[in-house]
Amino acid sequence: MDGNSQKEFLKELYMKQSKGMFRYANSIMRDNYLAEDAVQEAFAVAWEKIESLVGMVSPVGWLFGTLKNIMKKNMAEMHKFQKLLLSLDEYNCVEQAITDNIDPTILYEGIISNEEYIILEKLYIHGYTYKELANEMNVPVSTVGMKAKRAKEKFRKNTESRKNKIFPTLM
């Protein structure tokens, strides 16, 4: 197939499939701009792979599979960006607390207990191992593990509720 025939093939595929692809992408991504961007990117990939696409038994299936992979990649990138924003927000809160000479544990009050805060601080800030912390606390390693797990779950629940308030259209 020559270059003009390939262009016509892709143009016809675009005319027949782009609206359905957009509806599919929009139903998952729930954002017109992001859905349109994913569809356009799928067709850009299709143009790069046009020679093999022309000979496929199901080019439409390939196109939707490509769209699905692009959407997964884009949504993963958005998720990373959201986590970065939340991390920066939390960092700014801690920096503000330090600047104002406020004990950072006040920031976590109501989310985790003081004991849970100390466990997480020693594990993740001071680099203790679970065994070292268990020896210091005179408890089994499994106890330290469960307390750390519960504290992280409390943080995760709190972060999810904050995320939904900050990014309601993206969830």
- State which residues form the domain around 29: 3-77
Q: Which domain CATH number covers 138?
A: 1.10.10
Residue where a domain terminates, one of 61, 77, 93:
77
Listed in sequence order, the residues at least 6 apart from 26 whose beta carbon sits closer than 8 Å to its beta carbon are 32, 35
Number of Cβ within 10 Å of residue 55's Cβ equals 8
Q: At what angle do helices 32-48 and 3-29 cross, to 10 degrees?
A: 150
Residue 43 within any structural domain of the chain: yes
Residue 120 within any structural domain of the chain: yes
Number of domains in the chain: 2
pLDDT tens track of the chain, all 171 residues? Answer: 677 889 999 999 999 999 999 999 999 888 888 899 999 999 999 999 999 998 899 999 999 999 999 999 888 877 776 666 566 556 555 555 444 444 555 455 567 777 888 888 787 777 788 889 899 999 988 888 888 888 878 777 765 655 455 444 444
Q: At what angle do helices 59-99 and 141-166 cross, to 10 degrees?
A: 100
Residue 95 within any structural domain of the chain: no
**Exposure b/e, 104-113, CB count within 10 A at least 16 = b:** eeeebeeebb
Please indicate, yes or no, whether residues 11 and 73 belong to a single structural domain of this protein: yes
